[in-house]
Amino acid sequence: MFRNCAIIGCGQTKHSSRRRDVSVAELVGQAVDAALLDAGITMKDVGCVVSGNMQGFGGVAQPDLWIGDWMGIPGKPAIRIATGGTTGGSVGQGACYTVASGMYDISLGVAWEKHSDSKEAGATTGLMHVGMGNLFHALTYGLSLKNLIATTAVGAAAGVAVYQARFYMNRSGCRQEHLDMVAAKARRNAAKNPYAHLQWPNCQPSDIAKTELIAFPFRYGHVCPASDGASAIVVAEEKTARKLCKQPAWFLGMGSYSDEENQLQSENYGGVGVIDPSEQMGCRVSAQKAYAMAGITDPQKEIDLAEIYQPFPSQELIFSERLGLFDDGTAWRHMEKGETDINGRMPISVSGGVNATNAIGSSALQRILEAALQVQGKAGEHQVPKKVRKAVAHGWGGVTNYITVTVLGNSPR
Amino acid sequence: MPYLKDERPATMMVEGDWQVGAYRYKAPRLLEEFSAGMKEKKIIGSMCMGCGKVITQPRNICGRCHRRMEGRRVLSDWGTITCFVTSPPVEKGRYKIFGMDPVDTGTLKLGEILIPVFVRFDGSDSNINCLLLNAKPEEVFIGMRVKAVWAKELKGAMSDLEGVEPIREK
Amino acid sequence: MEQKTGVIVVNGLPIVQAQFSWSVGSQMQSFLKALANKKFLASKCPECGYVYAPPRNTCHRCYKKMGEKDLVELSGKGVLLGWTVAYVELDGKGNFVDLKKPKIIGALRLDGANSTIFMPLEADARDLKAGMKMALEWNSETKGGWKDINYFKPAR
Amino acid sequence: MDKRVAIIGCAQSHHQYDVQKTREDLVFDVAKEALANAGILREELGTVVTASTDFLDGRTISNVFLSMAVGAFLKDESKVEEDGATALQYALMKLLAGAYDVALVEAHTVGWQFNPHQVSFYTIDPLVDRQVGLLNDISAAAIQARIYMDKYGVSQEDLAAVAVKNLSNAASNPFASRRLPDVSVSEVLKSKLYYEPLRELMISPVTDGCAVVILASEDKVRKLGCCCPVWIEGVGNCQDAYLRDRNLLGMDSLKKASASAFAMAGIQDPFNDLDVLEISERYAHEELMICEALGLAREGRGKELVNKGVTSMCGELPVNPSGGALGADPICATGLVRVVECVKQIRGEADGHQVGSVKRALAHGQFGICAQKNTVVILGGE
C-alpha cells in the first residue's frame, strides 16, 4: 500500500437491547466522542468521515445526512458505505483507504445500529426486505405457504445459518455440544467486556444446553441478540499516528471479496451455484489478499488473535478455518482443547464477539476495534495475557457472501 | 471509559412508517417458465454456455463467466439431500408470517415436525429448498436419495412441487 | 424450448409496512413536553452561542455538548425567510396527490435562534414577504407533541 | 497526487422511466458495455464500487443480488450509498492507496420502483421534520429557490430559461430521458405547478438508469495500452450541515468541494481553465447556484450566464450540453452519468452534443436535500 496508517483511537457505546435513553443521533455522538477522546484529538483535526449502518433497520434513509451533525461532518468530506452485515468492516477499511490514498491525514470511521427504533423485534421487516422483491415475485407464481415457512420461518432468526452449520458439522464431525461450548465462551468473554450486551459470567456449555431448541442444531442460547450501539475509530497516517499515540494499531492488510449468493436465492428468485454455504470461498480469497498485503505467509503461526464475526457459534468455527487459523475441519478440536480461550494459543473473539453483541451495522467495525484494542493493549479486563503482534478482524454479511478481512499489527509494514 | 455509566432513564418516542409494500419490481420471465414446467412435472434449470453450470430455479446471469445463462435443461426429479434441518413440533404462534398464524389457517398441523431439506436434483449444480415428506426425522441422512412429490392436481405453479420423499425399495 | 423475453411487473403486498418508533433523547423530550405548556424551547451552545430550535445535544459547529442547563425559551415569534405554496403532496405511498386547497410551507427563523424551522403557514400567499414577522398559533388543546403547533401566521 | 489514475472505459444506459428491463439486466448490460469500451475482461478488475441505496432500490443491502451482474464474483466489492461521483472518488482512493490497479464503478437507480421524492421524505430528521410532514426534496428546493430569487431578483423566466437550455440540449443526446427540442419559456411556465415556483419542467424527471466507469492506475494504463485515457486531475467532496442549520442561499459545501478539486488540479481560474461542465442540477435554480458556487459568476449573477448564452451549447463555456439532470435523473447514477458525459466530450465522442475540442472538463454530483453533499471531479485529456 502507498502509505502506512493506523488506528489511534477507538470508541464505542454500551450495547443493550433498548437504548431508549438516547436518540440514534446521540448514540452515534457518544461513540464518536469516546473515539476522539481516546485519540486525544478534537473534531477540527478530522479530515474525512466514513460512516455506515443498515438504513432499513432504523427507518431513516441516508441517516448520515441528518446524523452527520453528530459525527462532525458539516464542512468535511464524507462517504457513506453500507454493505449489509459487513458495513462496519467496509467502513473501517474505507476510513483506512481515505488516509492511505494520501488525500486526508486523519479519518473517522463510524458505524451504528439502533434495532429498537423498529417496532418489530429485531427489525424483521428491514431484514426480510433483503428478499422482499423475490418473495413478492415467488408468491405470484404460487410459492406455497408451507414451503415459505419451511424456507424462512423454521430457521427464524437463524435463517441460512442453520443449514450452514449442518453442512459444516457434516463435513468436519463437529457436534452440537461444541456449539454450546462456543456460545458459552462468547457469553463468558462478554462478561469481561463492559460494553458487551449478553453478559453471563462463568457461563458453562451445560447452561447453554438447557435452552430451548429452535431447529436442530441451534438453541436459543446460540443466537446473537439484536443490540443498540455504535462504534467509531480514528485512523491516522504514519507521522500523525506516531505523534499522537504510543502504540497505534497499524493496518497491515485488507481484503473484502464477494462470493456468489450463498442463500439459495439470487435476484428474482433464481437459484445459485453454491452447494455448500459453509464453503465461504470469499473468505479464503479475502484472507489471501489481506495476508499477502501484510506479508504473512503462515497465518497459523503469525496471527496472535482473531476477532471473528460469529452471530452463530458454528460460524466462529467455519471462519477460523477459512481465515487459515486452523486446518480444514479441525477448528472444533482446537476449540475443545481451549486453544481459542482468552488465555489460549489462538484467542478468538475475546470480546464476546457478535454472538454476545450484535448491532448489525457496527458489528464488523467492532471486530476491527476490538482487535485494535488488543494490539494496543488497552482492552482492560479482556486483554489477552500474551503479546499481540498481529491480529485479524473478520466481517461477514450480505446473503452470507460478503467478507471483509482486516489485519492489524503492532508495528507498521 | 466514557459513556459507560451515563445511561439515563428512557425517553419518549415518536413514530413513523415506511411503506415497504408500495414498492414494485420488474422480473424476467424465468420463474414463469419454471412454474409452467411444473405442469408437466418438469424441473427446469438454466445452463451457462460458458462453464456448463446448471442452476435451478433458473437464473439470469452466471457471475463466474459474466454472461447470460441462455441454455435450458430439464432436470431429473430424483435427487440427493445435501442438507436437512428438523424443527421441534409445531406450536401455536411459533411461525408467524405477516401477522398470520399458519396453525390457525390450517397450513400447519399442531405437533407436526417439519424437515426442510436442501435437494440437489440430478443434473443440476444448485440446491432447492423444500420439505421432506413421508419420512421420519431419525431416518434422514445427508446423501439420502429422494424423488419429487408432485401435487395431485397440477396447476403450473411452484406449489406443484410439494416436496421430496425418500426412494424406497419395493 | 421456447424462451420468453420481456419483463413482468411484481407488485408489493400493500399490507406489508415497516413501523418505527424513534427514541427522542432527553433534549428533545424536554422540548416536546414543554409544548404542552405552550413553551418553545431551544438550546444554546455554551461555546459559540449558536441557538438550536428545537434543542439538541451537540453543536454542529464546535462539537460541544449541550444539556438541560443550556435550554432557553423562545418567544414563538420569528422572521419569514422563504416559503413555497404546495399544490401537491405525497401520500406516503409514493404518489403525488393534488391538493384542493394549496398549503403554504414556510422557512422561519425564530427570534433568538440561529437555526431554521419549516412549518405550515396560514396566510394569503400574495401578502407574504421575506423578512416578515410571524407568530406561532397554538392548537386549542396542547398535549406535549408536535400536533400542539397549529401553524404560523403573520404577526400583527 | 503522486500517482495518476485514468478513466479507460465508460458506458451508460438509455435513461427513461419504466425501462423494459429488470434491474439486474440494466446493470449487466451497461457493465458489459463498459468493459468492452475499456477493452478489458472482467478478470482484469481489482475492485468494484457500486452506488445505490436501499430505500431507492427497495431492497435491504441493495447491492447484494447485483454482485454477479456487475462482475464482482470473487472480487473486492463494496457499496457506497451516495451519488456515483462519490463512488468514483472512493474507487480512486482505493487505486491511489495502491491496493488495486483496476476499478469498476457502477451506479444505478430505478426510479420507477418507488417515487424517489417519497424516499427523500424518509431522509429528513425523523424527530422533527418527518413529524411535521411537509418537507421533501422538491418542497425544500422550492423554498430555497424562493429565497434565492427574492435575494437576487431572479425571475421565473430566468429559471425557465435554464430548463429550456437543458431540455433542448437533451434533445440532441440520445441517452437523455426528457428530450424537448423546441420547448419555449412560456411552455415551461405553463407546465404543472408542484411547489411554487417549481414547475414540472424545472424539476428533474424520475428516471431509471445506470452508468459504469472503469478506472486504472497509470502503470496499468500503459500496460494495457489504452488509446484514449481520460485522467482524473482532481476531486473534492464536502457535506453540509442538515437543512435546518444550513445557509440555504449559498452552496457552501460545493464551494469547499470545488476549492479542493481545483487545488488538486491546479486550476486558478475555472472560467478559462475549463472547457465544459456537466453538473447535476435537480432543479432549474440549482444550475445558477452551482455555477456561482463554482466561481463562474459572481453571487446572484448566474442568470446572466444563461441569458447571454455563455453556457449554451455553442457558448464560451458550455454547461450541461447533455441536458444535465433536467434531461435525465437516475438519482444515484446522475453524478456518474456526468462523468461519462465529460469523458465523451474529452474523447470527442459525444454524438450530436459535442462542444468542440475539450481538454478539461468538470463533472459534479450531488446528494441529499438541497444539494447537501457535493462531489466535484476534474477530468483532463492526455
> Chain C partners of D134 at a C-beta cutoff of 8 Å?
86, 103, 105, 118-120
Closest CA to A113 of A56, A168, A54: A54
Return d(Cα B159, Cα C11) in angstroms, integer. Answer: 20
Domain assignment present for residue D363? The answer is no
A8 vs A19: CA distance, rounded Å: 27
Domains, chain A: 5-119+224-409 (3.40.47.10)
Percentage of residues in chain D having pLDDT higher than 90 = 93
DSSP conformation class of B21: G
- Dmax over CA atoms of chain B, in Å, equals 72
Question: Is the separation of the CB atoms in D212 and D103 below 8 Å?
Answer: no
- pLDDT for residue C1: 42
Question: To 10 degrees, what angle do helices D252-265 and D284-293 make?
Answer: 50
The pLDDT of residue A136 is 86
Residue partners of A404: CB distance under 8 A and separation at least 6:
A86, A89, A90, A92, A93, A254, A255, A256, A286, A364, A394, A395, A396
Contacts B94 to A, Cβ<8 Å: 153
In a domain, D199, yes or no: no
Instruction: Note whether A268 contacts B60, CB cutoff 8 Å.
Output: yes
Q: What percent of chain C shows pLDDT beyond 70?
A: 97
Does residue D193 fall inside a structural domain?
no
Number of structural domains (chain D) is 1
CATH number of the domain enclosing D27? 3.40.47.10
A231-257 confidence digits (pLDDT tens): 999 999 999 999 999 999 999 999 999
Laid out side by side, the sheet with C40-44 consists of C51-52, C40-44, C71-74
Measure D37 CA to nearest chain C CA, in Å. Answer: 26
Give the number of residues written for chain A: 413
Mean pLDDT of chain B: 89
- Interface confidence, given as ipTM, is 0.95
Which residues fall within 8 angstroms of residue D319, CB to CB, at 6 or more apart? D276, D277, D278, D279, D287, D291, D296, D305, D311
Residue D157 lies in a domain: no
Residue carrying the nine cell digits 424465468: B30
DSSP state of A152: I
pLDDT, mean of residues C121-128: 93
Q: Do D127 and C118 touch (CB under 8 A)?
A: no
Beta bridge partners of C23: B13
Residue ranges per structural domain of chain C: 25-154
First-to-last C-alpha distance (Å) of chain D: 16
pLDDT value of position B3: 65
Question: Using an 8 Å Cβ cutoff, are A148 and A155 in contact?
Answer: no
**Residues C80-101, mean pLDDT to the nearest whole number:** 94
pLDDT at D319 over 50: yes
| Tens digits of residue pLDDT in A165-210 | 999 999 999 999 999 999 999 999 999 999 999 999 999 999 999 9
Give domain status of residue D247, yes or no.
no
**Element containing residue D232 per DSSP (H, E):** strand D230-239
CB spacing of D68 vs B16 below 8 angstroms? no
Residues in contact with B153: Cβ distance below 8 Å, sequence separation at least 6, in sequence order: none
Cβ separation C116–D195 shorter than 8 A: no
Residue B94 has pLDDT above 80, yes or no: no
> What's the order of all strands across the beta sheet hosting B54-55?
B54-55, B43-47, B71-75
pTM: 0.96
Q: What is the tens place of the pLDDT at every residue in A300-350?
A: 999 999 999 999 999 999 999 999 999 999 999 999 999 999 999 999 999
Domain around D9: 5-114+206-224
Chains with at least 3 CB pairs less than 8 angstroms from chain D: A, B, C
Which residues 6+ apart lie within 8 Å of D176 measured at CB? D15, D170, D322, D323, D327, D328
Residue-wise pLDDT tens digits, A98-147: 999 999 999 999 999 999 998 887 677 777 788 888 888 888 888 887 77
Dig out the grid coordinates for A347 from the structure: 484467542
**Which candidate from B10, B22, B33 shows the least CB-CB separation from C14?**
B22
Contacts of D150 in chain C (CB under 8 A): 82, 130
Give the three-class secondary structure for D284: helix
Quick check: A35 and A233 in contact, CB under 8 A? yes
> Interface partners of A (3+ CB pairs, < 8 Å)?
B, C, D
Residue D173 counted as domain residue: no
Q: What is the pLDDT of residues D239-290, one digit of tens each?
A: 999 999 999 998 999 999 999 999 999 999 999 999 999 999 999 999 999 9
